[in-house]
Amino acid sequence: MNNKDISDILFAVAEYFTMFDEPFKARAYEKVAESLSSFDNDIRKIYKDGGRKSLEEISGIGKGIAQTIEEYIQTGRVRELESMRKKMPVNMEELRSIEGVGPKAIKTLYKKLKIKDVATLKKAALAGKIQKLENFGVKSEQKILKGIEFFESSRGRFLLGEALPIARRIADDLRNVSGVSRVEIAGSIRRWCETSGDIDILVEASNADAVMSTFTKREDVAHIIAHGETKSSVRLKDGIDVDVRVVAKKSFGAALIYFTGSKDHNVLLRSLAIKKKLKLNEYGLYNGARIIAGATEEGVYKSLGISIPPPELREGKNELKKVFTKLIGFQDLRGDFQTQTDWTDGVDSIEAMVRTAKQLGHEYIAITDHTKSLAMTGGSDEKKLRRQMREIDVLNKKISGIQILKGAEVNIMRDGTLDISDEVLGELDIVGAAVHSHFNLSESEQTERIMRAMSNPHIDILFHPTGRVLKKRDPYALDIDKIVAHAVATGTVLEIDAHPWRLDLKDDHIKRGVDAGAMFSIDTDAHSLAELSYLEYGIGQARRAGLSKNRVLNTLALPALQKFLATPKQKRHLL
């Protein structure tokens, strides 16, 4: 049981309260659930050390919620939730993942049509039963069907941001098994693909038995799919499948190539081997019966006469023929240009965000809270922005070793104008612009709108350019090549939003930018301290696109960055 489990339970309670028309209780639970999901300290430990009282010291937690958390920690259950579930036994998590279906809709759907999950929802929608319900119509029925389509196409695949932490946890545990000398995460995760179907882990060990039994007996295993001498598969309680294989040292490199993939890459490699009258499999590269390489990846590629491609580029395209430009490295970024704080919809204070960024080794961090037309976030108007600038001045004096840049995530209005005056934008160090509404404009309208915003001399970066949310919302209709060309023409930097739900721009779009000569930034879009470590997801996407360090703004040291920002937009360049 960790913070996420507790957070999930509180979310569930909140959802039910919403259904039972208790909006304020719901909001109270929701708030705590949100803050716990990115809370740095272990709640269970806080409770064990200081009891219920210490829970109540956390902002947002009072007597009631402290009791709920206590009950859950002690018994693993929450009676109130169970009794509400009895009244309305629906698969809330599944139904809520359909866009446009909220708690109230779920309530009506259950009461009128006994809809419990996506399967029964789909049946009812296809039968035209939903459009007849009060407050529903033909359009809402169609919207639900579209949502189900989306749900089905992305089911079974996990976001990189979900799969990678799980894979690392398992890999770390396996490293502690005696006799284990090496553990690597392979598969699509190693290639930094934005989603993964499963987790592949490769182990080099003298004692395969111990590895297999430790792995299959994990607490987070829901059931064992296979348990063999060198290979086991399990399904975790999270729903994701994990394969672990144990291989001998002399085959580790060949196995790592094989299990890293992609499938298409392996096909290319094997046909290359055949051309050279060799044979490649997961145990090694063979000349007849004699093994000529296998212990290391380098050795196998070298014996095939090619240089080793970074895992991110092993997609079965032209990676065997290509000479690789040096990709941006995971340690190359010196700062972050998109972060939100508790001034708007972030969780943590500016000071806390800055101190954490400093711990991460950043030389600078831009504070980019939302602006006024995003009222739901408490977005800043000109006055509030100026107040924030004064606070940043104070903090810059107080905190040494990192520069805080005054910024904003300015909202792009329907017509492409901005919701903050040019005068105030001019006072900021760095400004990002982003779309948060009117997602349904035609491609040409949407493209024109964004290009107009990019033409503003104060807009340094276009934030999350296509607006997608993985597994949830498609990107808005956009002519990406026009946007890229306009970025180059105006000197606007294109963001690679590293937030694991966004990864926006995506790899293919980054590639188009690379080809067109655009400049990029890689930012976390962090709304809490924990999210400040998301940069690696963006770097992974950048590497998949072949992006090199010298095209990325936040690889610059602070003085060079300041010089860049002091240059008029049109004249800016990185190379």
Partner DNA sequence: GCCGTTTTCGGCCCGACTGTTTTCAGTCG
> How near is the Cβ of 542 to DNA at its closest, in Å?
24
Nearer to DNA, 334 or 471 (CB): 471
Measured in residues, the chain has a length of 575
Nearer to DNA, 129 or 549 (CB): 129
- For residue 351, what is the DSSP state? H
Give the other-Cβ count within 10 Å of 563's Cβ: 11
According to CB under 7 A, which one of 5, 71, 94, 102 is a site residue for DNA?
102
- Output the six-digit token pair for 362: 């950043």
Nearer to DNA, 233 or 340 (CB): 340
According to CB under 7 A, which one of 190, 191, 406, 436 is a site residue for DNA?
436
Q: Is the separation of the CB atoms in 367 and 335 below 8 Å?
A: no
- Output the six-digit token pair for 198: 């499963």
**349 to 408, contacts with DNA by CB under 7 A?**
373, 375-378
> How near is the Cβ of 243 to DNA at its closest, in Å?
33
According to CB under 7 A, which one of 279, 302, 384, 472 is a site residue for DNA?
472
> How near is the Cβ of 369 to DNA at its closest, in Å?
12
Tell me if 66 contacts DNA by CB under 7 A: yes
Q: Is the separation of the CB atoms in 208 and 164 below 8 Å?
A: no
- Output the six-digit token pair for 108: 């009506």
Nearer to DNA, 143 or 543 (CB): 143
- Spell out the residues 6+ positions from residue 420 whose beta carbon is closer than 8 angstroms to its own: 371, 372, 380, 381, 382, 385, 408, 410
Nearer to DNA, 289 or 375 (CB): 375
- For residue 433, what is the DSSP state? E
Instruction: Label residue 100 left, alpha or beta by phi (over 0 means left) and psi (-120 to 50 means alpha).
Output: left
Cα separation, 449 vs 454, whole angstroms: 9
Options 25-33, 215-223, 275-283, 317-325: segment touching DNA (CB under 7 A):
25-33
Question: Per-residue string for binding with DNA, 120-159, x by CB under 7 A?
Answer: -----------x--xxxxxxxx-x----------------
Handedness of CA 481, 487, 490, 491 (dihedral sign): negative
Tell me if 533 contacts DNA by CB under 7 A: no
Give the other-Cβ count within 10 Å of 349's Cβ: 15
Nearer to DNA, 106 or 353 (CB): 106
Alpha carbon 405 to chain centroid distance? 24
According to CB under 7 A, which one of 27, 175, 322, 398 is a site residue for DNA?
27
Helix (H) or strand (E) holding 210: helix 208-216
Closest CA to 411 of 379, 458, 443: 379
Site size toward DNA, by CB under 7 A: 46
Q: Is the separation of the CB atoms in 564 and 343 below 8 Å?
A: no
Question: Per-residue string for binding with DNA, 325-354, x by CB under 7 A?
Answer: --------------------x---------
Q: Is the separation of the CB atoms in 541 and 507 below 8 Å?
A: yes
Which residue type sits at 63? K
According to CB under 7 A, which one of 63, 217, 275, 573 is a site residue for DNA?
63
CA distances from 189 to 38, 81, 199, 311 (A): 23, 36, 7, 10
Nearer to DNA, 102 or 179 (CB): 102
Nearer to DNA, 53 or 139 (CB): 139
Residue 172: half-sphere exposure toward Cβ, Cα within 13 Å: 6
Q: Which residue has the tokens 């970066």?
A: 461
> How near is the Cβ of 347 to DNA at its closest, in Å?
12
Nearer to DNA, 62 or 457 (CB): 62
According to CB under 7 A, which one of 48, 104, 114, 383 is a site residue for DNA?
104
According to CB under 7 A, which one of 105, 247, 424, 494 is a site residue for DNA?
105
Tell me if 59 contacts DNA by CB under 7 A: yes
Tell me if 65 contacts DNA by CB under 7 A: yes
> How near is the Cβ of 572 to DNA at its closest, in Å?
29
| Residues binding DNA (CB under 7 A) | 18, 24-25, 27-29, 59-66, 99-106, 131, 134-141, 143, 345, 373, 375-378, 414, 436-438, 440, 469, 472-473
